[in-house]
Structure 1
Amino acid sequence: MVFIGDCAPLSFYQSVRQLVTSRVDADAFAGQNSQHAVLENLRPRQVVGSIAHPPVVRTANIPAMIARYITSTTGLVDLFDNALLTENMTLWAESRRSTDVASIVNYLVLAIGAHEDEDEPGSAYFEYAKEQAFASLGGDLGIETVQAFILITFYMLGACQINSAFLYFGVAVRAAYAIGVHRTEVNAHFGPQTGKQRDRLWKSLRILDLFLSTSMGRPPATSDVDCTVSYRTLDDQGKDVFDMLDASVQIMLVVENVVEEIYSRRKISLSITDGISMKLREWSTRWLQQLKDVTSPKAASGNVAVVNGACQVIATYCYAVMLVSRPFLMYELCRRLSDGVTQAPPNKPAMISGRLKLADACIDAACLMVDTVSDLINRGVITGRMPLLVSWLFASSLVLGLGLLGGFGRVLEKYARTSIAGLDFFAKSDAHAVQYSVIAKSLLATAVGYLESREMQERLQRTASSSQLFGLVPREPQHNADMPSPRPRTSFGASDRSREAATRPDDQHQAFRSLSSAGFAEMDSAAFDLPNSWAQTTDLSFFDGLLDTQDSWSTLNLFPFEEGGRIDLARYF
């Protein structure tokens, strides 16, 4: 038994599965994906015994491994002076290596860099370093101890062992608190250079912690209570300096606020939405354009690691928008599937478009994420293992599949297929991406089949009334019965369906940008067309319970693991 909270992508998937199988097609998802256990690596683990001697390191391959390490970690953790890392590592490899904590850290860096290189014994580096890291805990703690367990966590995330990563990360946090890296005045005692390194170590802890806690729906291990490290870097004029780590930690703090205010309390209100949207707009104004400039084709000749880092930060921003607007998308989907509506009613008065605007924002954020990731994949820029991108991309594929199912536009089929292509790209080295891709394909097939069946039903109804004009169908006595509707097709072997013509990304994201420029304070409670009880505070437990066979849409469980949620991992061990 393991706990998965409401904000996790897997919890969102469970809500989507309940909605689709109850309202659209009971066989929508393959049986093996109906389980909740999509956490640990499905591949058998190799049990490695005690390693008596340090593994051999080939110095000729160190630059390539360091490059892959920097590419994977940029934007998430910043533990060293990367400009000197290759040189320092080469000098260490050429010298007589010892078993001190610094050597343990070096082996872990190489293990992450060698994760995808079959010619390098990355697993041997990791197993040796992990064993030595635990053996060293009895000695004096230092920043190397914190670095070591951060790197162990990062390696296990790349190996799709997220529960294990979650446990090892707790050691890193306790070690960090023990040496006081959360207090900038303590860090300053070590001099400017080391003090800055310790500050960035704490920021790295916060980013990694909030990714772990959000992706699994669990309380974070770190907190800003009693923390004095600044998350902004200012120049001599007091203006913000562009810093990838600062941009990353700031958006993660917004994600933390979304989880605390909405998903932990299971309530949403206009004031909460307004406050969070203001924070997202402030972050977007400060960072988004600079990050998009880094990932633009003009910057393709720049630092690949920085481009990958910027992509991960943008994806986190998109996920933050999806988190805060996701309840409204589910609300709209339940209404449409209950009413049999496959597209938004035209010419709606402006005062009742607020709910749709929030639902559209969720979809537009998913489109922006997919556009950014797919563009870099097609340009060959994204490399290595990216557990954060895989998790957020999975959530976006669910949003896009729901948007297509709910009639938000057939162009979403193109975006959904693009998100699946991204998951397939990561599936080459990520076991989670393999399962996520299968789930997303099943949802897409169900959505397309559902829309086609409705279109066919409408076509048959028109044919029944128009064919008599010219005798296309001979007039015969007909029973007064409803026209049968074909069952949606959900098999993956179905023929390729026509896709909508691609529209320009800038046009697609116009609604998303308009959301950033218009405050929610301009809307009153009537704009959301919600019951009177929602006017001040909306209790999301209003959605609790499985969908029944009645017309009421209000029984969707947005929090499927809150009561009686069971996650069976036994068959994976």
Structure 2
Amino acid sequence: PEKRRRIAQACDNCKRRKERCDGSRPCSICIRRRRESECQFSETPARLLRGPQSNTANIGSPASVSHPSPSVNGATANAESHSRPESVAPVPRLARLLRDTHGKFMYVGDSASLSFVQSVRRMVVSAIGECDFTNDPLRHQIIETTPPSTMQVPDMSPLDLDYDECKRLSQHYLLATSGLIEIFDVPTYYRNLDRWVFDRARDNDLKSAVFYMVLAIGAQVSSPDGDQTLAEKYFNRGRHMAVMNFTDAPSLMTIQAYICITMYMLGACRRNAAFMQFGIAVRAAFALGMHKSSTHALFDETEAGARRRIWKSVRLLDIFLSASLGRPPATSDVSMEADRNVAEEAAQVTSTDPFSSKVLALCDIFERIVIDVYMKKAVSTRLADSISGQYRDWTNDLPESLQLSNLGPGEDDPDKLIKALAASHIISAYHWSIILLTRPFLTFQIIKDMSRGGQDSQTNDQMEQSSIKTYADACVDSSLRSLNIASTLMQYPSLPHRLPFIINSVCNAALVLGAATFADQDKFLPLEDGLKQGMQILNRFAQWDPHAARYAQIITYLQEATTKYIRQRSERSLESRRSGVTRLFG
């Protein structure tokens, strides 16, 4: 102990976490965690830094908190973020328990779209009073479909399968999951499918569970009339095999099967069931050490590649479920941040697959937003500045597979649609993450503008207010871009009938545009056109997807509320002008 190197002062982050700081500015630990802009040195005792969170999580409006500028030799962007007061916007505390179709209470957190709907309802009440949007009879419920015959053991008698039909359903599976889950090598899958279909003893093959789940998803998203009888038959058979064969001893097929079960349940509008089933996939991945990329080197390249693909799929699904339902992520592994060798090895591996590298990097950004913003119930401009740096890094050198400009609509080519869906899924997720990060700033900006009644007001800190407004504008901009992406996809005739990731993005984007209308942003932004665009997209899916139908109903009510608000605003403006004329001419 007497030989341990002492430093004059540790940064606040290291004091709070009881870690050994090297005293550099920024310190190596903050650099490792990508928290350079938050590496501050103060005289605050460590016991106070480890105390309860500040009261910003409990306030009803943002607070401007001035911090002394630390002497940090960082990048220009970091220095700029330290040179101005830090504005903190609270995340509206709208997490609540909603009843499902069985009357049971299910938790929905602050980042969920249904929680934001409640926030918008409060804005609408303040602006125009009660209406269909605020008095929606289903506002206290979460829509979950109930599958038929859940208590019955599925019929396991041999099935007569047609290879061409199985190949067609497999193609629809690849369309629906393009860019999202990649649990097997596609050419190898088709070779195995050929043998499997013609094997009369196929149900004795452990791989049958995965094959049936693939066929189930393909049937689910391609049924022209929405009939799910065939999809449910394949699903029930595949899940029964997975439960009987894969739940006791974790394996790659365990994870593959339960990832497919999760995707099917998301498409079937059974999100809570998907959330539960996905837990098996996550725990199996942990049991196999997939969360530590250094373990991949112990296997041959074929299996190592399979493990990397599967882990990427697990990570992405976890972040989607976490953010969309407002629940803690399951794959958040804090210990991995401290292991730089593992992280560097992971970067080297994914460098050969830039698409996967970008997906994993986006998941890291999502996770930080969920944990540092929504779990802590507040977002500061300094934190937003730090995360925006990660966005800038992410958008640098986007691979061609993520360039939407190269994937415009054209002939109905399945290969082209697969590429378009992969890019659209990931770029839509990118915009959705920006919406989640900036939504608290937008909410504050809207409430402030509504309280002013549209009148300009002076502020003591124009720089601070400008920063908040910039992030609020980013929320609206990303919403408009999300809707444009989804609208482009609608031009493909062979688009899958159920796309829960796209539907989620469209709903969140439309809610933002509706909310922004109550801050009069429709005067200079195409918010009304965006709302109509969102409704058209949701109505396109509504004939097959109950969630899309429910979201379309919500957005219809919201559009009616915005129309009423715009009409009342016009009447007030006309009355004001007429009063001036009357004073002049009587």
What corresponds to 2:10 in structure 1? none
Give 2:554's aligned residue.
439
Match of 1:292 in 2: 404
* 3-state secondary structure, aligned to 2:204: coil
Give TM-score, length-normalised by structure 1.
0.75
Deviation at 1:33, TM superposition (A): 4.8
Q: 1:63 to 1:282 in 2, by over 3 A?
A: same
Distance 1:299 1:267, change over 3 A: farther
Most deviating of 188-197 and 225-234: 225-234
Q: Distance in 1 between matches of 2:164 and 2:327?
A: 42
Aligned partner of 1:110 among 215, 240, 257: 215
Contact 1:295–1:311 (Cα < 8 Å) also in 2:
no
Q: 1:16 aligns with which of 105, 117, 120?
A: 120
How far apart are 1:437 and its partner, in Å?
0.9
State the alpha-carbon separation in 1 of the partners of residues 451 and 346 from structure 2: 47
Offset from partner CA, 1:320-358 (integer Å, 9 cap, x none)? 11111111111111112222218999xx96674222111
Moved more, 423-432 or 18-27: 18-27
Q: Is the 8 A contact 2:407 2:416 kept in 1?
A: no
Which stretch of structure 1 is more off in the superposition, 374-383 or 106-115? 374-383
Q: Do the aligned residues in 1 keep the contact of 2:112 with 2:324 (CA within 8 Å)?
A: yes
1:142: which partner in 2?
251
Q: Counterpart of 2:110? A: 6
CA deviation digits over 1:78-107, x for unaligned, max 9? 001113323321221111213332111111
Conservation of the 8 A alpha-carbon contact between 2:381 and 2:467? no
Q: Please, which of 169, 183, 189 is the counterpart of residue 298 of structure 2? A: 189
Pair 378,111 (structure 1): closer, same or farther in 2 beyond 3 Å? same
Report deviation, 1:445: 1.5
Alignment of 1:450-465 (within 5 A): 450-465=565-580
SS of the equivalent of 2:107 reads coil
Match of 2:313 in 1: 204
Gaps of 5+ in 1: 476-573
Contact kept in structure 1, 2:431 and 2:481, CA below 8 Å:
yes
What SS does the aligned partner of 2:397 have?
helix
Residue in structure 2 matching 1:281, options 360, 368, 392: 392
Q: Quick check: 1:342–1:407 contact (8 Å CA) kept in 2? A: no
Task: Give CA deviations for 1:33-58 in whole Å, capped at 9, x if unaligned.
Answer: 552322412x6634343323243322
TM-score normalised by L of structure 2: 0.74
The one-character-per-residue Cα deviations of 1:19-46 (angstroms, maximum 9, x if unpaired) are 21243221241644552322412x6634
2:159 maps to what in 1?
55
1:240 Cα shift? Answer: 4.3
Shift of 1:18: 2.0
Q: Give per-residue Cα distances to partners, 1:117-159, cap 9 Å, x unaligned.
A: 2597221111011112111146543201111111111100010
Query: How much identity, in percent, do the aligned residues show?
Result: 30
Structure 1 residues 224 and 122 mapped into 2: Cα distance closer, same or farther (>3 Å)?
same
Mapped partners of 1:351, 1:256: distance in 2 = 26
Query: Which of 325, 328, 333 is 1:224 aligned to?
Result: 333
Contact 1:55 1:125 in 2 (8 A): no
Contact 1:385 1:429 in 2 (8 A): yes
CA distance in 2, matches of 1:36, 1:258: 26
Write out per-residue CA displacement over residues 417-476 of structure 1, whole angstroms, 9 at most, x where no aligned residue.
Answer: 101111112212211111111111111221121112111122123224426877xxxx6x
Superposed displacement of residue 230, structure 1: 6.9
Residues 250 and 60 of structure 1: CA distance in aligned 2, closer, same or farther (over 3 Å):
same
Contact 1:404 1:448 in 2 (8 A): no
**1:221-257: CA deviation from partner (whole Å, max 9, x where unpaired):** 223345547796659xxx9455433322321221110
Aligned to 1:168: 277
Partners of 1:85 and 1:344 lie apart in 2 by 63
- What residue number does 2:173 align with? 69
Structure 2 partner of 1:177: 286
Q: Given the superposition, is the C-alpha separation of residues 59 and 285 from structure 1 closer, same or farther in structure 2, using an over 3 Å criterion?
A: same
In the alignment, the residues of structure 2 paired with residue 288 and residue 352 of structure 1 have an alpha-carbon distance, to the nearest angstrom, of: 36
Q: Name 1:90's counterpart in structure 2.
A: 194
- Taking the aligned partners of 1:119 and 1:396, their CA distance within structure 2 comes to 29
Flag the structure with more relative contact order, 1 or 2, with Cα contacts below 8 A and sequence separation at least 6: 1
State how far apart, in whole Å, the 2-side matches of 1:75 and 1:185 are: 24
User: Which structure 2 segments of 5+ residues have no match?
Assistant: 1-104, 337-341
Q: Within 5 Å, which residues of 2 pair with 1:8-407?
A: 8-29=112-133, 31-41=135-145, 45-47=148-150, 48-96=152-200, 97-115=202-220, 116-117=222-223, 118=227, 121-137=230-246, 140-225=249-334, 228=342, 240-241=351-352, 243-287=354-398, 290-297=402-409, 303-341=416-454, 352-380=465-493, 382-407=495-520
> How far, CA to CA, are the matches of 1:226 and 1:53 in structure 2?
48
CA deviation after TM superposition for structure 1 residue 297, in Å = 4.2
- Contact residue 127 and residue 518 of structure 2 kept, 8 A: no
